[in-house]
Amino acid sequence: MRKLLLIGAAVLALGGSAAAVASQTARSETFRMLELFGDVLSLVERAYVVEVDNRKLIEAALKGMMGALDPHSSYMSPDDFSDLRERTEGQYSGVGLEITSENGLVRVVSPMDEAPAARAGVQAGDIISAIEGQSAAGLSVSEVSERLRGAAGTEVRVTFLREGEEPREVVLTREVIRVLSVRGNVEGNFGYIRIATFNENTGRELNETLARLRRENPNLRGYVLDLRNNGGGLLSAAIAVTDAFLDRGEIVSQRGRSASQIERYSATRGDMINGAPLVVLINYGSASASEIVAGALQDHQRATVVGLTSFGKGSVQTVLPLSGGRDGALSITTARYFTPSGRSIQKIGIEPDLEVARSVAEARLVSRSTFIYSEAAFSTALDSAIGQERRGPHVPREVPADDFPADEDFQLRRALDLLEVGGNLARLTPVPERTAESLTVAANAGEQP
């Protein structure tokens, strides 16, 4: 027995020694690559055709390193970090676009409500191909943002690409974007609440909006919560919004690299609409915080989700200031979000209880694209962690009829129809199903003069 114990101890010692050697080897390789970086920087400094700015080169290297991780990890320069703080505080000057980058292309995640870009017809998924006539290919998100932002009243020419259409150049007049996170109005017997983004003011503005709607009509029979084209924002705001409609239970969990890195957020007592029927509207421009809200309310069967599958951005980014922000900051992915039932949002999105396309054109896009513009389209996207994939091309369950007025909102119409029957899907009169062929015929008819 003593001999066996000695042999076991020797094996453990050898195993520990092997681990130490492996760790030392990895550190040595890291130091070698850092030396290589220094050598390359020195060579560029000496041999490049014109004098170089070392700070700019190092910042570019930092951005490249973070961009290799996933689409949402990034290095922010001091100016970029300052811009981020302005956006979360709810005011800045620009054209009103949430954008992201993939494979050298900058795409629109969502246009902000009533901002210059939205008024010009810019849509989620549009590619920014040129700014002031100069190609935007290869530019980073921060570089594009810098060119789009400017003094209120100044103009910027932007060319957008959209699937199946010719390039479209629009002139956008910059303005101070005062992001009113929440707005609402009474629609007959129901309250309509639109949340455009999740910022520091969202929870307060939601409370104020609900109180105002109740004053306007004390007998409201239900509510629509519109999160379409809401690209997300602060986790704390998403929790506050969800908590407003839940009386108890988990809202969301975030899970990091190890089993110990799990954080759970739960609702507090009190449903601000006292259990009234609730419908949540989402689409492929609904991301991050929007998906947390929709997923939690759906899991708790507190709301019926209507629209199209959301974007699928279910990763947590932690902003780490460098030297107190003097050297910028890192936005680094540290965890994934999971709904109360344990569903991963990442790359999958939230599937609606009632799938409804806003238009025939939107239905065609869903039916023929391998992926409608979503997190899953990014080659560097973090996986879902649960082995599931986003649903592929298909015809949405409900599509407006060919004669449905183009200036009306079919998704909102169906949400209100659902509230008319008390939020009970089983009692909702369905619309006739469409086929991919009928969508093509309808689209072709619409293209005729």
Q: Where are the domains of the chain?
A: 91-177, 179-447
288: annotated active-site residue: yes
Domain 179-447 sits in CATH 3.40.50.300: no
Among 83, 299, 315, 359, the active-site one is 299
The mean pLDDT value for 191-217 works out to: 95
Catalytic residue (choose from 73, 288, 331, 374): 288
CA distance 362 to 409: 12
Report pLDDT digits (tens) over 307-333. Answer: 999 999 999 888 899 998 889 999 999
Q: pTM higher than 0.85, yes or no?
A: no
Predicted pLDDT of residue 8 = 42
- 390-409 pLDDT, tens digit per residue, is 988 899 999 999 889 988 99
pLDDT, tens digit (0-9, with 9 covering 90-100), for 23-72: 677 788 888 889 999 999 999 999 999 999 998 899 889 988 998 899 88
Task: Give the Cβ contact number of residue 190 at 10 Å.
Answer: 20
Query: Does residue 299 carry a catalytic annotation?
Result: yes
Q: Which residues contact 301 (CB under 8 A, 6 or more apart)?
A: none
Long-range contacts of 298-302 (CB under 8 A, 24+ apart): 298/339, 298/350, 298/353, 299/339, 299/340, 299/341, 299/343, 300/246, 300/249, 300/340, 302/245, 302/246, 302/278
Range of 163-167, 304-308, 406-410 with top mean pLDDT? 304-308
Measure CA 218 to chain center.
35
Query: Would you call 3 a catalytic residue per the annotation?
Result: no
Name the catalytic one among 80, 310, 313, 344: 313
pLDDT band at 11 (very low <50, low <70, confident <90, very high): very low
Q: Mean of the pLDDT values across residues 287-316?
A: 96
- What does CATH list as the number for 91-177? 2.30.42.10
Lowest mean pLDDT among 9-13, 158-162, 250-254, 438-442: 9-13
What are φ and ψ of residue 234, in 5° steps?
A: -80, 135
Lowest-confidence segment of 16-20, 178-182, 373-377, 438-442 by average pLDDT = 16-20
**Residue 83: pLDDT over 50:** yes
